[in-house]
Amino acid sequence: MAGLFRRSGGPRRVASPPAEVSGQAPAPRKLTRRITDALLGGAATIALALVALGLGIATFALLSGGTPLGPTSPGQVVGIVLANLVVLLLLAASVIARFVRMWAERREGSAGSRLHVRLVLLFGVVAVGPSILVAGFAAVFFNLGIQAWFSDRVRDTLEASLVASRAYLEEHRNTIRADILAIANDLNRAAPVLLPDNGLAFARLLATHTAIRGLTESLVVEPTLGQVVASAGLTTGSVVDAPPSWALEQARAGEVVVMPGEGGEGRVRAMVQLNIPPGLLLVISRPVDPGVLEHMRKTELAFQEYDRLDRNRGDLQITFVVIFAIATLLVLLGAVLLGLLIANRIARPISRLITAAERVRTGDLSTRVHEGKADDEVASLSRAFNRMTSQLSAQRSELMEAYRQIDERRRFTETVLSGVTAGVIGLDAEGRVNLPNRSASGLLGVDLDAAIGLPLAGVAPEFAPLIEAARAQPDRPQTNEIRTGPPSARRTLIARLGAEMQGGRVEGYVLTFDDITELLSAQRKAAWADVARRIAHEIKNPLTPIQLSAERLKRRYLKQIQDDPDTFRQCTDTIVRQVGDIGRMVDEFSAFARMPQPVIRPEDVNQLLREALVLQRDAHPEIAYVTRFADPAPRVPCDRRLIGQALTNLLQNAADAVAMRAGEGAGRIEAAIDATPDHVTITVTDDGVGLPTEEDRDRLTEPYVTHKPKGTGLGLAIVKKIMEDHGGRLVLEDREDGPGARVTLILPVREAGEGASESTGTAEGAKVAHGA
């Protein structure tokens, strides 16, 4: 599990799916990281922690074992201290390195670093408490033991033992001193008599004293050569070792020398110089219990050591406190290091789970965590996490596939909706805009995409009655004609609103509408064209006989009528004149009903306008005509005769409008031509009566709609038809700088068959119009 996810100083990368949580250190830090990982590896750390714990326990045991005051060998103390220091330094380095790594991970925001820190602090507190308690109790008990061992009672006991042993030995010394003095006196008195002639008797006297006084041996020795002159008891040799020089010096000075036995002999010896020349020495020995002597020696040594330790008690306490402190640090650092390992083992899987959860949060459902072979809660959690991510990945794949299908259907639906000319708006149950198409925005002249979420009744109030009707009767589709748009460009829409029902409850509405303005206009035009054909057929036939009959009556009967011939002439002229007017009207009807197909050729538009102006200036000399031509003269593919007719109709309408302003001046008409790479614009502006009311403006281009007393209502209808045949547009609007109207013809530079797209067969863009 430790190798599943490695922390690094650099950013983490998501492995290719499926991938377990992993990390990679930057290249310059790989070697350092590997060395650190090797030093801080699990096996090395566990071994070091166990060595530290074992060494600390051994130090406590060694300091508390042996003699009560500690180890008897200074080498042991030095070895323990050195070993503890080495292990202590290694432990400190390992703990510091792990804390530095943990701090770096915390600073980098590594997953699980906070939990890791808390676990480490918890284990540290758990380890510090017992270690401090053990060290404190050890130091207290050590000090109590020191005080107990160096108490007055112990010192008095040792001194009493030493005094008793010394008294015992002194008693033996006094006894043997008395014995040797008595024997020396007897030998000094008997020696002059017995020694020269009867040495055997001298020896028997020595043996008698030895037996009477319970001595182990008695010797008379010549000190220079060590030759035995007389002996009694255990000694059998004729030569003995010479006594020590200090003993000889004291004996020659006349003192009694008492010497303890050597090598565990179990006796006390005494030596004194006899008065017998040449300076013979008397040496005797008395038996003493060897055990008593050994105890005396040990008591002496113990007291000496006790006295030495008592003098160095402060240094001893400091030494043992330092050793206890080092051992405590060893145990503490070992426990902390083990706590770090345990915390790492606990936090590492959780960190991997947190990191994997973060990846899942960012959308990487291929993330997996190592489950391990253990059968604990963390492994169960890892397996549950992997099952969860697998299920999420499968569900996301299914959702993505479903979303893909839905998105394809949505794009198909949007493509269909964007391709249709009809407007389609999806509404929710409250009548708020949900899904409009582009045609709906174009038909209503409102950006419906920006109005999503707003009530449609507020965005387009014209639909409010239709929505209320649908709410009142949701089970029946509602259909109605709606007029919308500004007065200068009124549109008639046929709208249908249907409710989407589910479980008897309205989930939303679908509103569809289409612009039928041109359809209605075309229907009216078709009807008026049929009427025009009928009128032309039914009226034109009798016009010629009537005119001929009137002219014949005038020629034949004018001279014969003597009573009021002027009235007869006036009546016949009126008939002829009115028949002519009716004929011209019939001709206009016929022209509207049978508009010829345009013959397209490149024509000079400036010239066409000049020709039309010549006729109007001659017919209306009272009007001031102002012209502005394009330079250079534009050439447009068009039918010369039809465009000339359209210009004539416009100029005639302008002249009629000026004439209708009675008593307000002679009038003014401006004609201008502007050219662009795509279009040529011809504008006719007058200062006449202006346009009719806004309610009737959208019908000005329909046949037989006129506001002139003698108008036929076909002038603008013919102009519009000519512009439609040329792929152009007719724009009608009010004059901006005063009363009057402005009419604009827009002709494409390209022929309609070559891709001219301006002609839609409508007067779209027209703002105002005035009648013929």
In a domain, 412, yes or no: no
Contact 746, 681 (CB under 8 A): yes
**What is the C-alpha separation between 771 and 696, in angstroms, rounded?**
10
**Which of these three, 291, 311, 332, is where a domain ends?**
291
CATH code of residue 731: 3.30.565.10
- The one-letter amino acid at 489: A
In a domain, 383, yes or no: no
In a domain, 441, yes or no: yes
**What is the C-alpha separation between 287 and 308, in angstroms, rounded?**
33
The CA radius of gyration of the chain, in Å to the nearest whole number, is 70
Alpha helices in 362-446 (DSSP H): 377-419, 438-444
224 and 125 together in one domain: no
Q: What is the mean pLDDT of residues 378-406?
A: 87
86 and 114 together in one domain: yes
* Token code pair at residue 164: 């008793």
CATH code of residue 495: 3.30.450.20
**pLDDT for residue 106 is more than 50:** yes
545 and 607 together in one domain: no
In a domain, 128, yes or no: yes
Element (H, E) at 181: helix 152-194
Task: Sort strands 367-368 and 19-20 into parallel, antiparallel or unpaired.
Answer: parallel
**pLDDT for residue 361 is more than 60:** yes
626 and 745 together in one domain: yes
**What is the C-alpha separation between 161 and 149, in angstroms, rounded?**
16
Confidence of residue 180 (pLDDT cuts 50, 70, 90): confident
110 and 192 together in one domain: no
Q: What is the mean pLDDT of residues 259-267?
A: 62
**pLDDT for residue 697 is more than 70:** no
* Token code pair at residue 339: 């706590």
Q: What is the mean pLDDT of residues 701-724?
A: 72
56 and 131 together in one domain: yes
Give residue 765's pLDDT. 34
**pLDDT for residue 618 is more than 70:** yes
**pLDDT for residue 24 is more than 60:** no
Cis bond before residue 455 (omega within 30° of 0)? no
441 and 577 together in one domain: no
In a domain, 767, yes or no: no
In a domain, 762, yes or no: no
**Which of these three, 515, 548, 566, is where a domain ends?**
515
Confidence of residue 594 (pLDDT cuts 50, 70, 90): low
List the domain range (segments joined by +) for residue 39: 33-145+324-347
In a domain, 377, yes or no: no
Give residue 684's pLDDT. 94
**pLDDT for residue 711 is more than 70:** no
Name which of 258, 299, 315 is nearest 282 in CA terms: 258
When mean pLDDT is compared across 209-223, 306-320, 446-460, 505-519, the lowest value belongs to 306-320
Confidence of residue 235 (pLDDT cuts 50, 70, 90): low
**Which of these three, 591, 609, 626, is where a domain ends?**
591
* Token code pair at residue 56: 């600390």
**What is the C-alpha separation between 319 and 479, in angstroms, rounded?**
108
Give residue 550's pLDDT. 80
Give residue 744's pLDDT. 92
**What is the C-alpha separation between 732 and 763, in angstroms, rounded?**
9
Distance from the first to the final alpha carbon of the chain: 95
636 and 495 together in one domain: no
Confidence of residue 683 (pLDDT cuts 50, 70, 90): very high
Determine the angle formed by the axes of helices 715-725 and 565-593, rounding to 10 degrees.
Answer: 30
Give residue 754's pLDDT. 46
* Token code pair at residue 67: 């003699």
Q: What is the mean pLDDT of residues 198-209?
A: 78
Confidence of residue 187 (pLDDT cuts 50, 70, 90): confident
Q: What is the mean pLDDT of residues 715-729?
A: 85
When mean pLDDT is compared across 50-64, 721-735, 738-752, the lowest value belongs to 50-64
**pLDDT for residue 237 is more than 60:** no
Give residue 753's pLDDT. 45
Into how many domains does the chain fold? 5
Give residue 298's pLDDT. 76
606 and 733 together in one domain: yes
**pLDDT for residue 300 is more than 90:** no
Instruction: Establish how many alpha carbons lie within 13 A of residue 586's alpha carbon, considering only the half-sphere containing its beta carbon.
Output: 17
Q: How many residues does the chain have?
A: 772
492 and 552 together in one domain: no
268 and 127 together in one domain: no
What would the pLDDT profile of 89-102 be if each residue is shown by its tens digit?
777 777 777 777 77
* Token code pair at residue 297: 């020696």
Element (H, E) at 770: none
**pLDDT for residue 286 is more than 90:** no
* Token code pair at residue 486: 């500004």
Q: What is the mean pLDDT of residues 696-713?
A: 64
**What is the C-alpha separation between 452 and 593, in angstroms, rounded?**
47
In a domain, 310, yes or no: no
**With pLDDT > 70 as the criterion, what percentage of the chain qualifies?**
69
218 and 330 together in one domain: no
What would the pLDDT profile of 439-483 be if each residue is shown by its tens digit?
888 888 888 888 888 998 888 888 888 888 888 888 888 888 888
